[in-house]
Amino acid sequence: MNVETEEDRRGKRRREDQDEPQRHEVLWFTDGNVVLATDKYLFKVFKGILSMLSAVFRDMFELGESSGGESVVQEMYEGVPLVTLVDDQGEDVAHLLRALYDHRYYNCYNDKTPLNVVIALLDLSVKYEFKDLMKDVVKQISRQFPMSLRDMDRIICEEEPLFQRIDQEKAGLLLLQAAYKTGIDALLPILFFFCSNMHVDKIFQTAQSMDLESLRILIKGRDELIFASCKLVSNLPQDLKADIKNSECLKDGLCVNESRYLHLDELNTPYFHYTQGKETVKFYLSFACKNCASSVAKSIEKRRGDIWAKIPSYFGYPGWEEANAKLEELMDS
């Protein structure tokens, strides 16, 4: 027969206490007038500020008041109303509340903001309609992923980590999931494009946590982009004479017949930035003078620009102009 000792009971109580949400060490204001409960933390904050910034929170708080002549039972915690945020992670809510109560905590111009903070703020600012905060987060993401071919070539080629040392590919895929989930359409064309410039193995490493429809859109658009890019590359030899024809050849016109491409098969990849004009000429065009090589590079960039203009349509969106207009509309709302 097993007899429970006092030490066993104390250990059991400690484990139960650890499972219960704990007061957040920063976001527990002694003069607060509402407690928000999550899986991990309790937050004692102020109704008025949350109600002023969020219609969703205002409506939640009003549920605890009289409605239609009937009194609604309000759960209490130490004498103040308790509101449970059932589907939200405590760490994410902590990021949200700190951004709201301490303006030093989040700055949309700080490129060192951790990615998990950016995603939490995007998710919860949309969910609870904190519009100003949501616009700041969208602004930060749009700065990191500009809708410009030249800028995206530079960002992808530099391969610099984003959002405090998170590698580009991981950051792009996680942000695509967050933007798709929250319905921020203005960000989706550029994020789909960015994520399409990845090896398929990298995409499917994240596929388990992706919405199936967003994964379908990504793979379909990626295939269309690869097809357009491979077509550009395969046409380079037949376009070469026309690309050189109007240049001021330094070899008395000999480049038209002497120059040729070598090893172009290396450019048949999912990486659209590999087809940049200057890089293609530098590594794959032989026997062309400086002037003719420059003319060819410009022609390649023009064709890349034509493909760039169509890229949003590969993922089911109207175009870059419309995406920019939607972004401006969101910022002005």
The pLDDT, as a whole number, for residue 326 is: 96
Cα separation, 64 vs 220, whole angstroms: 48
Contact 177, 194 (CB under 8 A): no
Backbone angles phi, psi at 36, to 5 degrees: -100, 130
CA–centroid distance for 16 within its chain: 38
User: Which pLDDT does position 24 carry in this prediction?
Assistant: 97
> What integer pLDDT is reported at residue 303 of this predicted model?
98
**Measured CA distances, 187 to 99, 178, 183, 229 (Å):** 22, 10, 9, 23
**What is the CB neighbour count within 10 angstroms for residue 309?**
13
In terms of Cβ atoms closer than 10 Å to its own Cβ (0-12, 13-18, 19+), residue 36 is buried
Q: Tokens for 264?
A: 């172009």
Region of residue 210 (phi > 0: left; psi between -120 and 50: alpha; otherwise: beta)? beta
Report d(CA 323, CA 175) in Å as an integer.
Answer: 17
Q: What is the number of other CB atoms lying within 10 angstroms of the CB of residue 100?
A: 22
Residue in this structure with the two tokens 């928000």, named with its chain if needed: 36
Residue among 255, 273, 261 nearest 235 (CA):
261
**Collapsed DSSP state (helix, strand, coil) of residue 84:** strand
Q: What is the pLDDT of residues 236-261, one digit of tens each?
A: 999 999 999 889 999 999 999 999 99
Taking only the tens place, the pLDDT of each residue in 202-231 is 898 877 788 999 999 999 999 999 999 999
Give, to the nearest 10 degrees, the angle between helix 115-127 and helix 168-182: 0
* Structure-token pair, residue 273: 């930035």
Assigned token pair, 234:
């395969």
Q: Is the pTM of this model over 0.75?
A: yes
Chain centroid to Cα 247, Å, comes to: 42
Cα distance between residue 125 and residue 274, in whole Å: 37
Distance CA 100, CA 134 (A): 11
CA 84 to chain centre: 28
The predicted pLDDT at position 6 comes to 56
List per-residue pLDDT tens for the chain, 333 residues long: 444 555 545 544 444 455 799 999 999 999 999 999 999 999 999 999 999 999 999 998 887 665 554 556 688 999 999 999 989 999 999 999 999 999 999 999 998 899 999 999 999 999 999 999 999 999 999 999 999 999 999 999 987 777 766 788 889 999 999 999 999 999 999 999 999 999 999 898 877 788 999 999 999 999 999 999 999 999 999 999 999 988 999 999 999 999 999 999 999 999 999 999 999 999 999 999 999 999 999 999 999 999 999 999 999 999 999 999 999 999 998
Whole-number Cα distances in Å, 236 to 214, 267, 304: 33, 11, 12
Q: For residues 117 and 191, what is the distance between their CA atoms, to the nearest angstrom?
A: 18
Residue 233's pLDDT is 98
